[in-house]
Structure 1
Amino acid sequence: MGNEGSLDPKKYYNKDQLIKAYTQMLLIRRFEEKAAQLYGMGLIGGFCHLYIGQEAVVIGIQSAMQSQDTVVTSYRDHGHMLACDMDPRGVMAELTGREGGYSRGKGGSMHMFSREKNFFGGHGIVGAQIPIGAGMAFAHKYNNDKGVSVSYMGDGAANQGQVYEAFNMASLWKLPAVFVIEDNQYGMGTSTKRASASTEFWKRGEPWDIPGREVDGMNLFAVREAAEWALERARSGEGPALLHIKTYRYRGHSMSDPAKYRSKEEVEKMRNDHDPIEGIRSYLLDNKMASEEMLKDLEKQIKSQVNDAAEFAQVSPEPQESELYTDILIDN
């Protein structure tokens, strides 16, 4: 099936819930902008993949999830961490390789976790997180905890073989799994139209009887509607669901990518006409759910929170040499 249903924002969010969703999206945007600054200053090493432009995807899905549900994602993961309510201080400290980070400075951008928040990584290998997500779904079913495993991947990962092995197992055993393809229209430096024989990714589950939906990922309400459908299907025992969420990243694939394979006009048009945060901001104002003054105060609070995270990251000490020998063996 394609994109179905009629959108009624009030069906999914009351005033307080929508302001919270807007706040979370804005936090992700400002956090990523600060991360870009720290990267430019040489304080973040290695790879750094920003989530700017895609905020409605993770917030729309996360707002429909339950506390026992689990998340696993790829290397474009900072937004997912913040959506799971991980502490911005701990995330930023990990980006800068400091002891106060979620992996005590050893994981960096692509490898930090929070068992407490049911966030099981960032993973650097393209598509490798999807079999892990299927395994987490198996654990939910085995433990009968009514939880759902939500696994995110990019459009590039949708062409990887291990993804379809995971689809087969998840469907065969009717696992409570939701697979999310965040299609931001470009792989590392290549348009999906050049890399995929078919860009109708929502159909990719059909050989395994996994229904899919195509979703406007720049529209928070559209994402929330699709997420509720997918999560309910998985939670009720019907098996996995697939969401093809069409979104857009404003920055390059990573901080080292100048993104010369697309025009500035294309990016500006997406920013001006489809920005997910501006869309919710306008909705809040038009429906008198918030005032300009309130939203300005909110912006100040978020900037202060992000600056605090950056300051914490810079004063947190580097890991001790002894950390080289931790987290490498489980002694039963």
Structure 2
Amino acid sequence: MSLTKTQLLQAYRTMATIRQFEERLHRENTSGDIAGFLHLYAGQEAVATGVCGHLNDADSIGSTHRGHGHCIAKGCDIDGMMAEIFGRKAGLCGGKGGSMHIADLSRGMLGANAIVGGAPSLAIGAALTAKTLATGAVTVSFSGDGASNQGTTFEAMNMAVVLQLPIVFVFENNGYGEGTGCDYAVGSRDIAGRAAAFGMHAARVDGTDFFAVHQAAGEAIARARRGDGPSALEAVAKRYYGHYEGDPMLYRHPGEVAALRASSDPLVLFRQRTASAIGAAEYDRIDQEIAEQIDSAVQRARNAPFPDPSHDLLSDVYVSY
């Protein structure tokens, strides 16, 4: 699948924005100014970027507790995201959702989800709406390897096949469901194969390889968009940080993360793959622009007001139809 230089630069910008956003939150979290849990996406950037590059604002995604990367790849506003994570009124959800419930319906981002396996059953609702109204929209459900074992996930996949819904189930196999290894918890050790048993096309790719993800996701999304039903994609890419910020990661081998960063960093692999078309100086310029953008987002978030309980406590609780 050929990409123009403009598309390559945009893909790198998205991945680099995710990485710098997460690395900055890792540092900012030590200040004590961020309430609630943070689950960082670093190491998995190629998955969200490769998938969401095929989507538009009319398409929907269901996310996970590790949702910042999905938000950025779907086009959510960086300032609004940062303000939300800092609990400020200027946030995407008015500062009341925080990291684990961040959402932006205007971008088709249905929300991060604190429930393991929560996205698939929500996503098939969006996919059923798209099919019923014949909008041509596609839904992507992001789940982790831990969520691949949930009964709600199985029910959602079965329903998607029965109703031939325009949905792609993306399973991000980052090696661990909280602190339990995928090789232990997934009996078949083959998430894609298990999804295929429901009667849908399924593929397994290297989740650190943007191009592999982009091609497989493009085929699956095109299949859904033309009415040929659901697909599943298992993307293998281990996360760099713990399940949550503060996780001591005693379940991981010493040196594991350092080895991952040295050998399979999605951004480094992307730059190496495209070196003949794009010079290091162009990538370095993008990195600097992103650093400045994130610096500004942090400062704006810190200076923004908190929600006012007298006005905001009971807003956004019910939807009026």
User: How does the TM-score come out when normalised to structure 2?
Assistant: 0.97
Q: Please, which of 309, 312, 327 is the counterpart of residue 300 of structure 2?
A: 312
Matched, 1:227 2:208: no
Q: How many residues align?
A: 320
User: Is 2:174–2:239's contact at 8 Å kept on the other side of the alignment?
Assistant: yes
What do residues 202-241 of structure 1 show as CA deviations (whole Å, max 9, x unaligned)? 0122332112100110000000110011112111212100
How many Å apart are 1:291 and its aligned residue? 2.4
How many Å apart are 1:26 and its aligned residue? 0.5
- Over 3 Å counting, the alpha-carbon distance change for 1:105 and 1:187 in structure 2 is same
- Give the secondary structure class of the aligned counterpart of 2:281: helix
Partner of 1:3: none
What do residues 105-142 of structure 1 show as CA deviations (whole Å, max 9, x unaligned)? 10000112112111110011100111000111001101
Matched, 1:83 2:65: no
- Over 3 Å counting, the alpha-carbon distance change for 1:331 and 1:64 in structure 2 is closer
Query: How many angstroms apart in 2 are the aligned matches of 1:206 and 1:70?
Result: 22
- Give the secondary structure class of the aligned counterpart of 2:180: coil
Partner of 1:324: 313
Query: How many angstroms apart in 2 are the aligned matches of 1:12 and 1:67?
Result: 23
Unaligned segments of structure 2, at least 5 residues? none
Q: Residue 303 of structure 2 aligns to which amino acid in structure 1? A: V
Partner of 2:147: 157
Structure 1 moving runs of 4+ over 3 Å:
none
How many Å apart are 1:266 and its aligned residue? 2.0
User: Is 2:196–2:232's contact at 8 Å kept on the other side of the alignment?
Assistant: no
What do residues 242-264 of structure 1 show as CA deviations (whole Å, max 9, x unaligned)? 00111110111110212121123
Q: Residue 188 of structure 2 aligns to which amino acid in structure 1? A: S
Q: Residue 27 of structure 2 aligns to which amino acid in structure 1? A: Q
In the TM superposition, what are the counterparts of 1:39-188 in structure 2 within 5 Å?
39-188=29-178
Query: How many angstroms apart in 1 are the aligned matches of 2:2 and 2:294?
Result: 28
What do residues 152-182 of structure 1 show as CA deviations (whole Å, max 9, x unaligned)? 0000000000111111111101000100000
Partner of 1:256: 246
Query: How many angstroms apart in 2 are the aligned matches of 1:129 and 1:73?
Result: 6
User: Is 1:203–1:211's contact at 8 Å kept on the other side of the alignment?
Assistant: no
Query: How many angstroms apart in 2 are the aligned matches of 1:48 and 1:248?
Result: 17
Query: How many angstroms apart in 1 are the aligned matches of 2:194 and 2:32?
Result: 40
How many Å apart are 1:67 and its aligned residue? 4.0
Identity of aligned residues (%): 37
Partner of 2:278: 290
